[in-house]
Amino acid sequence: MTPDTMSRSAFRSAPRVLLPGLLLGLSGIVAVSVGATRAQTPGRARHEAAKEMMVRSGAVRQFDEAMPLIFDQMSRSFMVLAPNKAKEIREVFDQLVPRFLERKGELIDQIAGLYAAELSLQELNAIIAFYKSPVGLKFAGVQPKIVRESTTLGQRWGERIGAELEQQARQELRRRGVDL
């Protein structure tokens, strides 16, 4: 395998590997470490409070910032596979991306449902009050930067670990008579 085909192979798997990881990371962004009693069916007020908590915490804004990056990364990986079709790939993504961005609310509603099931209305209101406070506003304000930087750190770490794993796996397989 030449370095060129190895690089193309890595990009070919990029959408399958990076997209789920980024989405998982985005889901983790909105996680709050608060214990609460699980309720069977949270009411509309709890669901709406959970959505407000997500907005006040900056989680929704982080989705807004991350989604274009995900789409851009995917379109670039497609362009690596078909560089002579870059114009068509850009046109397709320009056409499809707005439709998918409109669907962000589906995920927000589902995640809000998770919070509403785990947190009482009083707890959600207390969290909202925190995010309205000066320290809560500051915390929500620095989160996007911290998430961006930690995502970059995580990607670099993953690339290093992945390269080490690949190298060691190839060495061990070669030792066993399997030459990739």
pLDDT in tens, 94-105: 898 888 888 889
* Gap between the Cα atoms of 89 and 79, Å rounded: 7
Q: pLDDT band at residue 64, thresholds of 50, 70 and 90? A: confident
- Residue 166, classed as helix, strand or coil, is helix
Backbone angles phi, psi at 30, to 5 degrees: -90, 0
Tell me if 141 is assigned to some domain.
no
pLDDT of 37 above 80: no
Retrieve residue 23's tokens: 């989405």
Class of residue 12 by CB neighbours under 10 A (exposed 0-12, middle 13-18, buried 19+): middle
Query: Is this model's pTM higher than 0.75 or not?
Result: no
Q: Give residue-wise pLDDT tens across range 128-144.
A: 999 999 999 999 999 88
Tell me if 82 is assigned to some domain.
yes
pLDDT, averaged across the chain: 82
Tell me if 107 is assigned to some domain.
yes
Retrieve residue 161's tokens: 């670990």
pLDDT of 12 above 50: no
Name the amino acid, one letter, at 180.
L
pLDDT at residue number 153 = 95
Give the Cβ contact number of residue 142 at 10 Å: 11
- Report helix, strand and coil shares of the chain as percent, to nearest 5: 85, 0, 15
* Gap between the Cα atoms of 31 and 143, Å rounded: 13
Tell me if 146 is assigned to some domain.
no
Tell me if 16 is assigned to some domain.
yes
Tell me if 100 is assigned to some domain.
yes
**Number of domains the chain contains:** 1
Boundaries of domain holding 99 = 3-28+40-133
| 118 closest CA partner among 31, 57, 2, 60 | 31
Name the amino acid, one letter, at 105.
G
* Gap between the Cα atoms of 124 and 19, Å rounded: 30
Retrieve residue 152's tokens: 């970059």
Tell me if 77 is assigned to some domain.
yes
Q: Which residue has the tokens 């915490």?
A: 57
DSSP single-letter state for residue 62: H
Tell me if 93 is assigned to some domain.
yes
